[in-house]
Chain A
Amino acid sequence: MPKTSKILRAAGVLALVGATVAGCAASPVTEPTPPPLPALSSSERTQLYQTQVEAARDMLLSAHASATVPDVELVRFVLPSEWAQTMVGCMDEAGFAASVRPDGGIEFAPVADAQSEALSVANYVCGVQYPVDPTYARPLNDEQLKYLYWYFIEKLVPCLEAEGFNIPAPPSEATFVDQYDAHPWSPYSDVATSTEDAWIAINEKCPQMPSALFGQQD
């Protein structure tokens, strides 16, 4: 038998087995392969970083209109998974106590009113020195969005419903992808808890994002 025919035959058998297994399994949809992280050129990275800096500056001035925005140089890009710990270290060096939250955020120790602007400025400085790699900051492409939709429908919604939450009917995949930039849909939109601990617990049990959204790099 020609090699090509053998391959096609083997693929057919695999497809039949796959369809049979899928028919018996609880989840009828096969987990797709996580999309690889799209490459970013050096110039694209620089341009996106500059956009991040400008957005951070605008946010600082929105909170503290009279703040003096210091000139800050990039120290290094960080992975999303190391952002919080890196920021805490940087804030500590700036003289502000902070800690990493279970949800990946950073929590600042209370400061006197007179120090609130300085705290925000320090947060700006650290964010510009140690930004998340712009590779992870671009809008999701269609392949990533389809993977995210699969995760929402096949994993997240059942997980939240098993915990007693009512999740509204989801949009179609096409609608989800088309509208994500302007109106991103999330199964978490109607999930409410009365305490911080309960919120953290449900987020740990039913993560809002799949860990492989950016390939296996994060």
Chain B
Amino acid sequence: MSHGRSIMAAVGGAALALALVIAPATSASAAGSKSWNYSCSDGFLMKSYGRHTVGHYRNGALIVAWNNTVSTWRSTTFTGAPGTGTVYASYALYNSSGNCVNFA
């Protein structure tokens, strides 16, 4: 099945342009937070791998929240204007990423 492969290729292509448009913003760990300043033509994909309450914020406003009883990968896509994406996790943020993605 090629569905997954084509998606991964799209992300990979977007990641190439990422270095030009994404600037790392403030970064912290421990309790768990990470931010990215982004400027993407289509969308900004933010992922987190955290435990317990996890919130994905855009420009300081809470957009999505989860309660991960067990560490779980979560994903949010922001569209539109440039901005700042931030992940906060109440107990632990083990991993996170931010990438531009193309919808085409």
Q: B8's closest neighbor in chain A, by CB? A: A192
Given the contacts A63-B86, A120-B62, A163 and B1 also touching, CB distance less than 8 Å? yes
Pairwise interchain contact A119-B62, C-beta atoms closer than 8 A: yes
Given the contacts A63-B60, A194-B101, A209-B72, A132 and B67 also touching, CB distance less than 8 Å? yes
> In whole Å, how far is A183's beta carbon from the nearest beta carbon of chain B?
7
Pairwise interchain contact B74-A105, C-beta atoms closer than 8 A: yes
Contacts of A186 in B (CB 8 A): 49, 71-73
The reply to whether the CB of B7 lies closer than 8 angstroms to some CB of chain A is yes
Q: A144's closest neighbor in chain B, by CB? A: B70
Pairwise interchain contact B88-A193, C-beta atoms closer than 8 A: no
Residue among A132, A163, A184, A195 with the highest chain B CB neighbour number at 10 A:
A195
| Bound-complex Cα distance A102 to B44 (A) | 20
| Proximity string of chain A (92-125) to chain B, C-beta cutoff 8 Å, 1 when within and 0 when not | 0000000001011111101101001001100100
Query: Which positions 63-100 of chain A face chain B at CB distance < 8 Å?
Result: 63-64, 80, 83-84, 87
| Bound-complex Cα distance A103 to B73 (A) | 10
Q: How many residues of A contact B (CB 8 A)?
A: 55
Residues of A at the B interface (CB closer than 8 Å) are 52, 55-56, 58-59, 62-64, 80, 83-84, 87, 101, 103-108, 110-111, 113, 116, 119-120, 123, 127, 132, 136-137, 140, 148, 160, 162-165, 183-184, 186, 188-189, 191-196, 198-199, 202, 208-209, 213-214
The reply to whether the CB of B31 lies closer than 8 angstroms to some CB of chain A is yes
Q: Of the candidates A84, A87, A208, which one forms a contact with B73 in the assembled complex, judged by CB atoms under 8 Å apart? A: A208
Pairwise interchain contact B74-A103, C-beta atoms closer than 8 A: yes
Contact residues on B (Cβ < 8 Å of other chain), bracket: 35 or more
| Bound-complex Cα distance A63 to B55 (A) | 10
Q: Of the candidates A101, A111, A194, which one forms a contact with B64 in the assembled complex, judged by CB atoms under 8 Å apart? A: A101
Pairwise interchain contact A119-B61, C-beta atoms closer than 8 A: yes
| Bound-complex Cα distance A148 to B70 (A) | 10
Pairwise interchain contact B66-A104, C-beta atoms closer than 8 A: yes
Query: Which positions 67-99 of chain B face chain A at CB distance < 8 Å?
Result: 67, 69-77, 86, 88-91, 94-95, 99
Given the contacts A56-B53, A162-B1, A194 and B70 also touching, CB distance less than 8 Å? no
Contacts of B49 in A (CB 8 A): 184, 186, 189
Contacts of B91 in A (CB 8 A): 55
| Bound-complex Cα distance A119 to B63 (A) | 10
| Bound-complex Cα distance A189 to B72 (A) | 10
Contacts of A209 in B (CB 8 A): 70, 72
Q: A131's closest neighbor in chain B, by CB? A: B67
Q: Of the candidates B3, B4, B62, B69, which one forms a contact with A132 in the assembled complex, judged by CB atoms under 8 Å apart? A: B69
